[in-house]
Amino acid sequence: MDNKKKLVRSSSDRWVAGVLGGISAYFNWNSTLVRILYIVLALIPGLGEIAILAYIVMIATIPGENAPASFFNQFKSTYQNQHGGKKSPKVIHGVEEQDVDHHKKEG
């Protein structure tokens, strides 16, 4: 059995997106203290923008607790399947090929 911890966004301990709840569960910290620390960092001039940007990046990169992959990985795999994946040839049954020039000669 794999008892390795994984960093995921919490679905039960969340206020906005579950990022801080997931971080607190991963490190076994008190989630209220993690949130207070984040708010203090976000209010410091110069660090506030970085803290908010980091939170948005974590929303996009850390998978949800019940999600199979992060938003970024889901988007990446969807994009690769649509644009870069190998396409199988299409087979059409019950179609008869006709010469286009044949109709011009008769008409």
Max mean pLDDT range (3-12, 14-23, 28-37, 77-86): 28-37
Contacts 24+ apart (CB under 8 A), 1-9: 7/62, 8/62, 8/63, 8/64, 8/65, 9/58, 9/59, 9/62, 9/63, 9/64, 9/65
pTM for this entry: 0.57
Percentage of the chain with pLDDT > 90? 10
**pLDDT 10s digits, 57-104:** 988 888 887 766 556 666 666 656 555 555 667 777 887 777 777 656
Domain boundaries, the chain: 19-106
Per-residue pLDDT band at 106 (split at 50, 70, 90):
low
So what's the pLDDT on residue 88?
64
Mean pLDDT of 12-36: 87
